[in-house]
Amino acid sequence: MKRPQLKRPALLDARNITRLYGPNQGCQDIDFTLHQGEVLGIVGESGSGKSTLLRVLSGLEAPDVGQVIYHSTQQASAAAGSATESLDLYAIGEARRRALLRMEWGLVHQNPRDGLRLGVSAGANVGERLMALGQRHYGDLRAAGQDWMERVELDPRRIDDAPRTFSGGMQQRLQIARTLVTQPRLVFMDEPTGGLDVSVQARLLDMLRTLTRELGLSVILVTHDLAVARLLAHRLMVMRQGRVVEAGLTDQILDDPQHPYTQLLVSSVLTP
């Protein structure tokens, strides 16, 4: 499969990040740059530190050492165009970090229950994030809810139903709609297809691939599933015991792994 050439501006820089809970437990010495429109997969077996790294990158947990630098594009004015401001995620303060998550970033949890409000309607789940950005018009919010339900292949006639009446796969699609409705510049995904039936996973993956391409999303994706990584990610980082052991273009890593650990990971998928 042909991958796009990625010579785009940097969106996020991870600089020498370490967050350890014990020896080799967590993540250490992580350095990379995510470019605009790029999908970066973080892969590795259970306990390799993927989720720890994602929490640090997404502003949920400060690193012991290192910096996360986000290149935010502010729309100064129609005439002046946009200006880029580089923000040190853990130096800007809690309020600004939360505002970033709300306004420019999105987070898709493995378990949709962690990303949805189960007690309010599907439409409210989607509209709520828009309201947080200042949209108030009921008709527009409802129209956006219906539109996004359709985009994630949910029946828009169920807009008033509570997500707890949806299946796991439907809840995950609703969580994705809720996340993407605000057109985030950067989306973090933690095992977005984990815990679902294989057939449900396949459809969801297909949908995610279409949406990331259509919207030109920048994504950091954590998965232990190399098939998911193959389908969605342009580039991969392979983690083992908290460290990155190999990084590069997805096809190169999966078709010609260099590190013995990556070779083992790839062969364990290929060998029944």
Ligand X SMILES: Nc1ncnc2c1ncn2[C@@H]1O[C@H](COP(=O)(O)OP(=O)(O)OP(=O)(O)O)[C@@H](O)[C@H]1O
Residues that bind ligand X (CB under 6 A): 21, 25-26, 44, 46-52, 224
Q: d(Cα 243, Cα 47) in Å, to the nearest integer?
A: 11
Nearer Cβ to ligand X, position 6 or 60? 60
Q: How far is the CB of 46 from ligand X (least distance, A)?
A: 3
Angle at 258 between CA 257 and CA 263, to 5 degrees: 50
- Is residue 222 within 8 Å of 30, Cβ to Cβ? no
Nearer Cβ to ligand X, position 25 or 73? 25
Q: d(Cα 125, Cα 118) in Å, to the nearest integer?
A: 8
Q: How far is the CB of 86 from ligand X (least distance, A)?
A: 27
Q: d(Cα 73, Cα 85) in Å, to the nearest integer?
A: 6
Nearer Cβ to ligand X, position 51 or 182? 51
Q: How far is the CB of 205 from ligand X (least distance, A)?
A: 18
Q: How far is the CB of 50 from ligand X (least distance, A)?
A: 4
Q: How far is the CB of 51 from ligand X (least distance, A)?
A: 3
Nearer Cβ to ligand X, position 47 or 156? 47
- Amino acid identity of 97? R
- Is residue 261 within 8 Å of 238, Cβ to Cβ? yes
Q: Angle at which helices 122-132 and 94-103 pack, to 10 degrees?
A: 130
Nearer Cβ to ligand X, position 41 or 49? 49
User: Within its chain, how far is the Cα of 61 from the centroid?
Assistant: 16
